[in-house]
Every structure is written in C-alpha cells, then in structure tokens.
C-alpha cells in the first residue's frame, strides 16, 4: 500500500544525467547533448529553489503567527495581572470608609485604622511584598540606605538605630531600600 501523503519524487541531477546517457547508449546515432543535461539541471535547481523559498515563507508566517499569539497572551495577562490584588484592595477601601463613618471618638477611629492597616498588609504579603525588618539590625547596603551616621555608645558599630522610611522586598527583589540612621564608634576628644 502506498502512502498518499508522500511527495512526488523529483529526479536528482545524477538520475537525469544517467537517464540521458543511457538513452544515448541505446541510440546508435545520438550523442549525449550537454545542453539537455544543463537545461535539466537548471530545471531541477529552479524547482529546488522554489521549494526552499516556499518553505522559508511558511516558516516566516508560522513565526509571525506565533509572535502574535504570544504578544496577545502577554497583553491579556498584563491587563488583568492586578485583578486579585484589586479585589482585596477594595475590601481595604471599604474598611477605610467604615472607619470614617464611625463615631468620631479616638478609640473607634484607631481600631478602624488598625483594621485597614492589617488588611492592607495582608494584600501586600499575598502579592509577595514584604517589609524589611531594619531596626537594630546590622547595616546592609543592599537593603538599607544610610541617611545619617551617628556616634553611639549604646549600640554596636554599623547597627541601624532609627528607621525613617520602611524598605520593602517584592518576592526576592528589592522594591525600596529602608532609609535609616546607622551607629558608628564614638570618637575620643583629645583636647586639653
């Protein structure tokens, strides 16, 4: 049984040359026509070139289609990437509104704001945003930015003694460094 999907066999240049040579051997009068061989070779090369060009255009079209599909998928994901965080932030927003609508006493306002901060922190943590614990930690320039260096007898050298602005990580990347005050060794006054 023959496979219907098989391509038609195109003769190679060697086969064409052999056929022309064999046919000339059977005919006593005919000689091998070099022009016929050359024309047959040209025809084969032109067919091979057309096939290669067709394959090239098919491959280019496939690559362009794949690129379009990938870009569309990327745009779709980027468009709705923030959806889950947005839904949780709505809850935080609603808690803020409830806190504002409560009686104006300090304690209920404080409790409402604590609820909002807890909710907001939960949303950040779910998205992989983590606060860098800096206070009383050794200074690390990869995570902390020293705004002030102050002499201190109370703290070890290069210890963070005050945090001006919290730093945050986004999963394993630094999102924002902590802005800090760092201790240094107290200098002795030798003035007499």
Which DSSP string corresponds to 46-104?
A: HHHHHHHHHHHHHHHHHHHHHHHHHHHHHHHHHHHTTHHHHHHHHHHHHHHHHHHHS-S
Quickly name the fold that domain 130-186 has: Nucleotide Exchange Factor Grpe; Chain A, domain 2 (2.30.22)
pLDDT tens, 97-128? 777 777 677 787 788 788 888 888 888 888 88
Name which residue leads in pLDDT, 85 or 155: 155
% pLDDT > 70, the chain: 81
Q: Which residues contact 131 (CB under 8 A, 6 or more apart)?
A: 166, 167, 168
Query: Which pLDDT belongs to residue 13?
Result: 65
Average pLDDT over residues 81-109: 74
pLDDT tens, 13-66? 677 666 656 655 554 545 678 888 889 899 999 999 999 999 999 999 999 999
Enumerate the domain spans of the chain.
Answer: 13-78, 82-127, 130-186
**Residue 118 to residue 23: CA distance in whole angstroms:** 94
Question: How far is residue 181 from each of residues 3, 19, 176, 185, measured CA to CA in Å?
Answer: 80, 92, 16, 13
Query: Which pLDDT belongs to residue 192?
Result: 45
Query: Which pLDDT belongs to residue 30?
Result: 54
Under 8 Å between Cβ of 17 and 34:
no
Helix, strand, coil percent values for the chain (each to nearest 5)? 55, 20, 30
**Does the global pTM surpass 0.85?**
no
Query: Which pLDDT belongs to residue 20?
Result: 59
């Amino acid at each position: 049984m023959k496979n219907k999907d098989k391509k038609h066999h195109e003769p190679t240049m060697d086969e064409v040359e052999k056929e022309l040579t064999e046919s000339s051997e059977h005919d006593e009068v005919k000689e091998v026509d070099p022009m016929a061989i050359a024309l047959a070779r040209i025809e084969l090369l032109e067919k091979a070139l057309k096939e290669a060009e067709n394959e090239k255009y098919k491959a280019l079209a496939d690559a362009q289609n794949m690129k379009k599909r990938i870009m569309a998928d990327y745009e779709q994901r980027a468009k709705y990437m923030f959806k889950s965080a947005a839904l949780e932030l709505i809850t935080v927003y609603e808690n803020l509104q409830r806190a504002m609508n409560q009686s104006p006493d300090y304690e209920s306002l404080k409790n409402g704001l604590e609820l909002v901060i807890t909710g907001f922190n939960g949303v950040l943590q779910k998205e992989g945003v983590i606060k860098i614990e800096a206070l009383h930690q050794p200074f690390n320039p990869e995570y902390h930015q020293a705004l002030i260096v102050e002499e201190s007898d109370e703290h070890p050298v290069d210890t963070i003694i005050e945090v001006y602005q919290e730093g945050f990580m986004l999963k394993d990347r630094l999102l924002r460094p902590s802005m800090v005050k760092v201790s240094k060794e107290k200098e002795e006054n030798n003035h007499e």
